[in-house]
Amino acid sequence: MKFAFFYILLFFTFNVFSQKFAVVDIDTYDLIESVTFKAYDGNKLVYKGITKNNKATVIPSDIEYDKIDFFKENYKNHSIDTDSLNGAIFLTKEHIELNDVVISSNNNGNINLGESNRIVKSGSRYLLPKKSFGVVFTNTQQKLEIFRTVFYVDKVKHKTAYRIHYYQVEESLPDKNKQTIKFNENIYSTETLYLEAKEKNRIEIEHKENIPFEVNTTIFVTIELLYYLDDNNNKFQPDNKHRSKLKFQLSDQNNYYSKTVNEITSKNSIDFVNINLMYKYDFANYLYETPHKSQLLSPAIMLNAIKTP
What is the per-residue pLDDT across 138-194, written as a single tens digit (0 to 9) for each? Answer: 998 889 999 999 999 999 999 999 999 999 999 999 999 999 999 999 999 999 999
**106 pLDDT above the threshold of 60:** no
Instruction: Among 91, 121, 141, give the residue marking a domain's end.
Output: 91
Please give the mean pLDDT across all residues of the chain. Answer: 89
Instruction: Tally the domains of the chain.
Output: 2
Same domain, 261 and 184: yes
Task: Write the DSSP symbol of residue 31.
Answer: B
Output 309 or 230, whichever has higher pLDDT. 230
Q: 102 falls in which pLDDT band (50, 70, 90)?
A: low
Segments of 154-254 assigned E as strands: 159-171, 181-189, 193-195, 201-213, 217-229, 235-236, 245-250
The Cα 98–Cα 140 span in angstroms is: 8
Statement: residue 69 has pLDDT above 70: yes
Give me the pLDDT at residue 299, please: 97
Q: What is the pLDDT of residue 98?
A: 46
End position of a domain, from candidates 41, 68, 91: 91
Residues 22 and 154 in one domain: no
71 and 193 part of one domain: no
CA distance 137 to 159: 29
Residues 264 and 119 in one domain: yes
For the cut 50, the answer to whether the pLDDT of residue 10 exceeds it is no
The verdict on 274 and 197 lying in the same domain is: yes
Q: Are residues 153 and 42 part of one domain?
A: no
Q: How far is CA 205 from CA 27, 208, 249, 303, in A?
A: 33, 9, 19, 10
The reply to whether 50 and 118 lie within a common domain is no
Residues 117 and 83 in one domain: no
Reported as a single tens digit per residue, the pLDDT across 257-307 is: 999 988 888 888 999 999 999 999 999 998 899 999 999 999 999 999 999
Is residue 96 included in any domain, yes or no? no
98 occurs within a structural domain: no
Domain that holds residue 231: 103-307
Any residues with CB less than 8 A from the CB of 233 and at least 6 apart, and which?
159
Q: Which of the four pLDDT bands, split at 50, 70 and 90, describes residue 3?
A: very low
**Backbone Cα Rg of the chain:** 23
pTM score of the predicted model: 0.86
Round to whole Å and give the CA distance between 237 and 32.
Answer: 48
Residue 54 has pLDDT above 90, yes or no: no
Q: Based on the domain organization, do 84 and 232 belong to the same domain?
A: no
